[in-house]
Structure formats: C-alpha cells, structure tokens
Homo-oligomer: A and B are copies of this chain.
Amino acid sequence: MGQTTIKDVARRAGFSFQTVSLVLNHPEKVARTTRVTIEAAMRDLDFVPSLAARALRKKPSRSIACVSCLGAETADDGPDPAPEEDQGLVLQTFAQVTDQHGYTLILRRCRSDDPESMARIASLVSEARVDGLVVFAERRDDPLIALLQAKRVPFVVFGLDVPGTHCAARADRDAIHEAVTYLARTGSRAIGFLGGARAAERLRGYRDALAEADLPLRADLVVACDWTAAGGYRAALALLDRPARPDAIVAANDRVAFGVLKALHDRGVRVPGEIRVVGFDNVAQGAYAIPSLTSIAVPTLDMVRFAFATLVAVIEGTRPPDDLARKLFSTRLVLRESTAAQAQP
C-alpha cells in the first residue's frame, strides 16, 4: 500500500491538497475550522508529513548539522564534558568532507532529556535551515532518534549501530574482542577492563573473548571510569589496590590508557613487564606515550565519508527511505611497546 500521502488526506477531508499543504507549511494562513477538519483527517489516516519532501520543495540549504546528544549523564558533567572532546577529530573530519562537497556544516547540541531541545533540532530541517542531520548518540534508545524517525527527518547515526536507522557504526564489540584475544594468546591471564555505562558493546567483546579463551570473567577486574586520563588514573590505582592484580588492562579509550600508564609508572609497575596496556582510538600521540601504546585504530575518515554520502543520497531522494544504509566499520589492532609479549608465562 505505501505511505499515506497529502492527497489521501485531502480526499478524506474534502479539501484540495494545496489547502492541506498550507496547513502543513503555513497553518496561520488557514481558517481555523478548515485546519481542524484537515488535522482530524491526518490523525484518522496516521498521516506523517515528510519533512524531507517539505524541505525539498524549498530551496535546498546544502547544509547538514552534526548533532551531539547530551544525555543526563553527560549534561551533568559541567561545562566541558569529556565525551564531546572525543568528537573533536570526527567533527573536523566532517567539516573537511562537507567542505569538499560544497556543503556547509552546522554544529548543534541536543539535550535528549528536554523535549524543547529535541523539537528545535527537528525544526532545523522543517525550517529548511539544513537538509539533514548526523546524530552522535551514546545510547540506542536516545529519544531524539525516535523523534526524528516519527517526523521522517533525513538523518544518519554516527558511531553507533542503531536498528532501523541509516548508520555508520564502529565494530566496538569486535574491536575489544580482538584485543583481548590477542592478550590471552600471548600470555595474559588476568585481563582488566576499564569502561563504564557507555561501553556496553565493548564489554560484550571483552566477555566473549574471555569465554573463548577459557579465562574466568572476574568482576573485580572490571572497573567503571570516566573516559578521561584522570578517570583512567584513578581506576588503575583502584585495580592495583585489589588483592589480585591484573596482568593486562584494556582501556575504554587512549585518554584513559594514558592515565593508566601514568598510574602504573607512579606505583613503579613495569609496562609491559608486569602489566600490559591497550587503548582505543589510536590517537596520533599514542605512538609517543612512554611506553608507546598499543591501540585500536578506527577508520574515521571512511566512516565520515560513508555517513555523508548516505545522508546526501537520502536528502536527494536517490536512496529510497526503506533501503537502510547500515555499515559496521572494522577496526585494526595496532601493536606497540605497551603489549610486548612477556617473557614469563
């Protein structure tokens, strides 16, 4: 059957489709009784106006917005929450790619616990200020995603694999699985994991790899921490103070790993001799850590290019709305000094 259209609504309400269109785009120009009748017909038919179609009828803005979702957790972190810092390089890559294609990039933040904040994001497209959105969400159930789907706003999710959406996702589970499997095969027996609520997929990779390597999952080796160097420093000290120390630590990202290296250094623990360390993101600086840091390289530029190309195809209508573009990008474990194989078993 397909989606209910503006013509179905017009037929049901007994008005021309031009009048229905006016209700959608300039309701203030329509007599109240007419508007009420047409809105009732929309409800009866479960009609959802296509924002993409509405925006296209206007002049395309050739702009897209990158929207960072701030959950209650991040919003409370003060003026400079760490998760956003992580996006610096990604946003600059988006600025570069959009620029190369003659598009303008807009940066917005969305408080997903605030309906008004979410409505303002959706209205960026209905007001034709941008043609589509790239959404940086931390959780699959972020309410902004459901809102954008309901309003049929063209959008792509970046970094996270959200069912039912176009997305450029990182294979987080596989990334950590590879790192933990490598550590287990090369002699580590007590592998710690520093993450937190945001690291669910990574934690899954950790658990799966331990099970496959016949290593026990020890609750005392899994520590929640902020995704900052300070968080890694504190979490590593906490691990060292426990009765049975780990012989390897996998950190949620490189920043956390730098904090871990510092904590081990301050306590006189040799890396990799006594404890091996793995980061995530493979930031340029990791090669210059002391010791240089084994990490997981993410193909950021490829992911940005895919997300942008997908969004443009959706905006321009060359990709049908139900043909979801979903790609899980593989990472690569980059071995450096911090995980050199141990002489002892």
List A residues at the B interface (Cβ < 8 Å).
63, 68, 79-80, 84-85, 87-89, 91-93, 95-96, 99, 104-109, 124, 129, 228-230, 232-233, 255, 258-259, 261-262, 265, 284-285, 287-290, 292, 301
Contacts and interface: CB of A to CB of B under 8 A. Distances in A.
Contacts of A229: 284-285, 287-288
Contacts of A80: 93, 96, 301
Contacts of A87: 92
Q: Which 6 A-B pairs have the closest CB atoms?
A: A88-B88, A262-B288, A229-B288, A95-B107, A290-B290, A105-B107
Nearest to A301: B79
B109 A95 contact: yes
B106 A105 contact: yes
A107 to B, nearest CB: 4
Stoichiometry, copies per complex = 2
Nearest to A255: B285
Contact of A288 (B85, B89, B258, B292): B258
A228 B284 contact: yes
A284 to B, nearest CB: 6
A306 B130 CA distance: 28
A287 B262 CA distance: 9
A29 B232 CA distance: 64
A230 B106 contact: no
B285 A261 contact: no
Given A104-B106, A230-B288, 15 more contacts: A63-B106, A80-B93, A84-B92, A84-B96, A85-B89, A85-B92, A87-B92, A91-B92, A95-B109, A99-B108, A105-B107, A255-B284, A258-B288, A259-B288, A289-B290
Contacts of A109: 95-96, 99
Q: Give the one of A92, A93, A259, A265 with max B CB within 10 A.
A: A92
A297 to B, nearest CB: 14
A285 B258 contact: yes
Nearest to A95: B107
